[in-house]
A and B are shown apart, each in its own frame.
Chain A
Amino acid sequence: MQLQYFLILAAALFCIGIFGLITSRNAVRVLMSIELMLNAVNLNLMAFSNYLDAQDIKGQVFTTFVIAIAAAEAAVGLAIVLAIYRNRDTVDMEQFNLLKW
């Protein structure tokens, strides 16, 4: 019965991450919400690995890859935010509207 608890918790974290991603005005908070969503996905993978594949824990290997890629993406994303801040002097997502039609 506990697999469902972990999956529901992961779904809740994912939905909170989506809420933060769409409603944040600070660009750094958007990146933090993306990390929340990636952690929710990792929790899902780990729960499946423990309850459905307890011998060859392939879900844990997948989770390790997701952790490494999320760290790389956080570094590049924050470098981009820093570069935008130097050019525009703000991190307000409402002001980054050059691509708006």
Chain B
Amino acid sequence: MNLAEGVQIVSFGLLSLMAIGAALGVVLLPNIVYSAFLLGGVFISIAGLYLLLNADFVATAQVLIYVGAVNVLILFAIMLVNKRQDFVAIPRAWIRRGATALVCSGLFALLSIMVVSTPWSFSTGIAAGNSSIVTIGKHFFTDFLLPFELASVLLLMALIGAIILARRELLPDDSVAELQQPALTLPERPRELIAVGAGAPERTIAQSLSDQNN
């Protein structure tokens, strides 16, 4: 970036504080909606860091895809599975958190020591700042053509898979089965009931939402 050295360091410090603070909020806060919004904060801080790394296209893609699509998708999923019921506390849960924190800080120490002590060979070429999207476009159509095509197939698979998995189930009631099926509709396959602890029957989204409102 064509910024002064001091401005770069201060921006890096602010963005990294935002990112770490928001990430700690994502994993530590009990309220999941706060965590989801703080995750959006992490994504935006990382987009800012990409701008500091001379990557304008990827920073834009990060904001559009992560904040605009993934974060909104997570919020919708939270809305649909928001049960408003506290989880049953496990006995001695602090052992799991303590051990995980220990392992994670050990891993962080190992990675930091490796980063600080490796002699990285810095490149001396001119950074492709403003023409980064041209270079990325050239890569997509020459070196990285096969991954590009495979990524498009993968996105198609994920789209179809997510639709099939999240499709609404039919209620296994007699009244629904007797309803006249209009022509040109796909009857959904009725699924068998899976035995749950309380024996709750299958419901549609509208029923669950109306039960929560009552």
Note whether A and B form a binding pair: yes
- In the complex, which of the residues B32, B73, B144, B202 contacts A75, with contact meaning CB atoms closer than 8 Å? B73
Number of B interface residues, CB 8 Å? 88
Does B27 lie within 8 Å of A16, measured CB to CB? Answer: yes
Q: How far is the CA of A61 from the CA of B104 in the complex (A)?
A: 29
User: Known: A12-B108, A29-B35, A60-B58. Is A71-B20 also a contact (CB below 8 A)?
Assistant: no
Q: How far is the CA of A24 from the CA of B28 in the complex (A)?
A: 9
A83, chain B: closest CB distance, angstroms: 5
- In the complex, which of the residues A18, A26, A64 contacts B61, with contact meaning CB atoms closer than 8 Å? A64
**How many residue pairs, one in A and one in B, have C-beta atoms under 8 Å apart?**
245
Closest-by-CB residue of A relative to B20 is A12
- In the complex, which of the residues B73, B103, B125 contacts A78, with contact meaning CB atoms closer than 8 Å? B73
Does B39 lie within 8 Å of A64, measured CB to CB? Answer: no
Where chain B touches its partner, the secondary structure class is: helix
CB neighbours (8 Å) of B27 from chain A are 16-17, 19-20, 23-24, 29, 33, 36
Contact with B along A32-52 (1 / 0, CB 8 A): 110110010011001101111
Closest-by-CB residue of A relative to B97 is A23
A58, chain B: closest CB distance, angstroms: 7
- In the complex, which of the residues B55, B83, B151 contacts A68, with contact meaning CB atoms closer than 8 Å? B151
Does A56 lie within 8 Å of B70, measured CB to CB? Answer: no
Q: How far is the CA of A73 from the CA of B58 in the complex (A)?
A: 19
CB neighbours (8 Å) of A46 from chain B are 49-50, 53, 55, 58
Residues of B within 8 A of A (CB): 8-9, 12, 16, 19-20, 23-24, 26-27, 32, 35-36, 39, 42-43, 46, 49-50, 53-55, 57-58, 61-62, 65-66, 69-70, 73-74, 77-78, 80-81, 83, 87-88, 90, 96-97, 100-101, 103-105, 107-108, 111-112, 115-116, 120-123, 125-128, 132, 135-136, 139-140, 143-144, 147-148, 151, 154-155, 157-159, 161-163, 165-166, 169, 194, 196, 198, 200, 202-203
Question: Top 3 A-B pairs ranked by shortest CB distance?
Answer: A20-B27, A72-B158, A11-B111
Residues of A within 8 A of B (CB): 2-9, 11-20, 22-29, 31-33, 35-36, 39, 42-43, 46-47, 49-58, 60-61, 63-65, 67-76, 78-83, 85-92, 94
In addition to A51-B123, A72-B154, A80-B165, 9 A-B residue pairs with Cβ atoms within 8 Å of each other are A16-B26, A19-B101, A32-B36, A36-B27, A50-B53, A52-B122, A68-B154, A70-B66, A75-B159
